[in-house]
């Protein structure tokens, strides 16, 4: 073989190796201004293979999502200098997620938040669910949608990349009626949005309330608490709770209270105020009634972190949003062994109101046989 042929073969080999390498090929795609995705094995659970998908948009924003629980394990977005950092709490490996009890980054189903005493009536039948939170049912039960393996498939879209996750939940799984087919599509758009489209169908009337439980820290450093994040919430009312964090049924006007985020305020500015509701939640752990017409996309919240300049907007079609300020985090080790401290992440969980199946006056969470459940939420990132 001539020297020239050798050199040519070597070049071809190097180019192919470069393209096959997930990190380098996504960097190449970003340099060329195109979105891309890749897939890796991430261990096994219940004899099922868990995969990790990496979605990268054309600006280099990157989301890593695993098929166990549909968990967003990392989300890298730029600060005002263009420096990327991971803005979600999590663990380094599957083991961490298997032992997690804080729902870090996970999809929540069949029912986000609490159902009082794990009981509800539908069409005259009383259903009994697991009571996995004191006397109440929380986040879908003992083995909710955060603890099952979903089927995943990634693809490019007109303006980004998406991961489609499917899960078939059996009739009476965790006590809920109906065989439910759930689909969640995560789309990372070239406008730096992580868009989540939830849909489901059932073969028997049931209740459903899907959400996403990412803990954000826009500083990108889990050792910083989230108290200096500035928050605006498009809500004039919230649903006060009892000692078990179950809504009392009241839709309380929040003007002038520590729950008033109609004007931007630091999360920490009133979090320890003398307030019965804050005491019950050990901080914020409440559902806000998002203003505007439910079922239509409208802005629910804006979060701004001054040091990094990072901004996150939340848009949703849902009637409510849970503001949870990580009050139950206790310092368990997370990524790189760093402790997940009290209030080191905040969640903005778009949802129907907690315990709606027992509150006929709340927007309904009943999904009828043959109907399709559909909701959309967008987390949009920018900087200023």
372 backbone dihedrals φ, ψ, rounded to 5°? -115, 130
In the set 139, 213, 229, 286, the catalytic residue is: 213
User: Quick check: 37 binds ligand GAL (CB under 6 A)?
Assistant: no
Left (φ > 0), alpha (ψ -120 to 50) or beta: where does 6 sit?
A: alpha
**Cβ 244 to ligand GAL, closest distance in Å?**
10
328 vs 342 by CB, closer to ligand GAL: 328
Among candidate residues 57, 53, 58, 59, the one with its CA nearest the CA of residue 74: 53
CB under 6 A: which stretch of 5-13, 33-41, 43-51, 321-329 binds ligand GAL? 321-329
Q: How far apart are CA 55 and CA 63, in angstroms?
A: 5
13 backbone dihedrals φ, ψ, rounded to 5°? -60, -45
**Cβ 328 to ligand GAL, closest distance in Å?**
4
Compute, in degrees rounded to 10, the torsion defined by CA atoms 132, 335, 88, 184: -60
Site for ligand GAL in 84-103 (CB under 6 A): 102-103
Secondary-structure breakdown of the chain: helix, strand, coil percentages, each rounded to the nearest 5: 15, 40, 45
In the set 173, 174, 318, 349, the catalytic residue is: 349
173 is catalytic: no
213 is catalytic: yes
Among candidate residues 164, 202, 201, the one with its CA nearest the CA of residue 185: 164
**Cβ 287 to ligand GAL, closest distance in Å?**
8
DSSP summary character for residue 308: T
The answer to whether the beta carbons of residues 154 and 166 sit under 8 Å apart is no
220 to 249: interface string for ligand GAL, x by CB under 6 A: -------------------------x----
155 to 194: interface string for ligand GAL, x by CB under 6 A: ----------------------------------------
Q: Which of 36, 59, 74, 113 binds ligand GAL (CB under 6 A)?
A: 113
323 to 362: interface string for ligand GAL, x by CB under 6 A: -x---x--------------------x-------------
The answer to whether the beta carbons of residues 351 and 377 sit under 8 Å apart is no
Would you tell me which residues interact with ligand GAL (CB under 6 A)? 102-103, 113, 138, 245, 285, 322, 324, 328, 349
Catalytic residues: 213, 349
């Amino acid at each position: 073989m001539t020297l020239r042929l050798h050199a040519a073969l070597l070049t071809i080999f190097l180019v192919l190796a470069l393209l096959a390498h997930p990190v380098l090929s996504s960097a190449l795609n970003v340099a060329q201004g195109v979105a891309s995705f890749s897939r890796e094995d991430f261990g096994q659970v219940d004899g099922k293979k868990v995969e990790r998908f990496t979605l990268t948009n054309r600006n280099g924003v990157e989301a890593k999502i695993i098929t166990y629980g549909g968990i967003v394990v990392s989300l890298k977005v730029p600060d005002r200098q263009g420096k990327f950092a991971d803005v979600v709490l999590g663990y380094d490996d599957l083991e961490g997620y298997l032992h997690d009890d804080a729902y870090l980054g996970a999809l929540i189903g069949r029912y986000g938040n609490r159902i009082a005493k794990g009981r509800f009536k539908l069409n005259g039948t009383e259903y009994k669910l697991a009571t996995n939170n004191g006397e109440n049912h929380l986040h879908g039960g003992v083995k909710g949608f955060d603890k099952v393996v979903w089927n995943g498939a990634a693809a490019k879209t007109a303006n980004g990349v998406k991961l489609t996750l499917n899960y078939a939940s059996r009739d009476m799984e965790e006590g809920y009626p109906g065989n439910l087919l759930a689909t969640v599509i995560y789309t990372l758009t070239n406008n730096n949005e992580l868009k989540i489209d939830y849909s489901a169908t059932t073969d028997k009337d049931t209740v459903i309330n899907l959400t996403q439980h990412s803990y954000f820290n826009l500083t990108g450093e889990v050792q910083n608490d989230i108290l200096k994040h500035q928050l605006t919430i498009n809500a004039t009312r919230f649903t006060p709770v009892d000692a078990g964090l179950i809504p009392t049924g009241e839709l309380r006007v929040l003007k002038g209270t520590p729950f008033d985020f109609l004007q931007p305020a630091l999360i920490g500015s009133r979090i320890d105020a003398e307030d019965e509701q804050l005491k019950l939640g050990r901080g914020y752990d409440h559902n806000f009634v998002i203003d505007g017409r439910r079922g239509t996309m409208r802005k629910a919240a804006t979060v701004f972190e001054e040091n990094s300049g990072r901004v996150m907007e939340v848009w949703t079609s849902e009637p409510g949003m849970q503001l949870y300020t990580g009050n139950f985090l206790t310092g368990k080790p997370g990524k790189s062994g760093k402790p997940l401290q009290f209030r080191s992440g905040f969640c903005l969980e778009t949802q129907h109101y907690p315990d709606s199946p027992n509150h006929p006056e709340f927007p309904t969470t009943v999904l009828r046989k043959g109907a399709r459940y559909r909701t959309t939420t967008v987390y949009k990132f920018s900087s200023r």
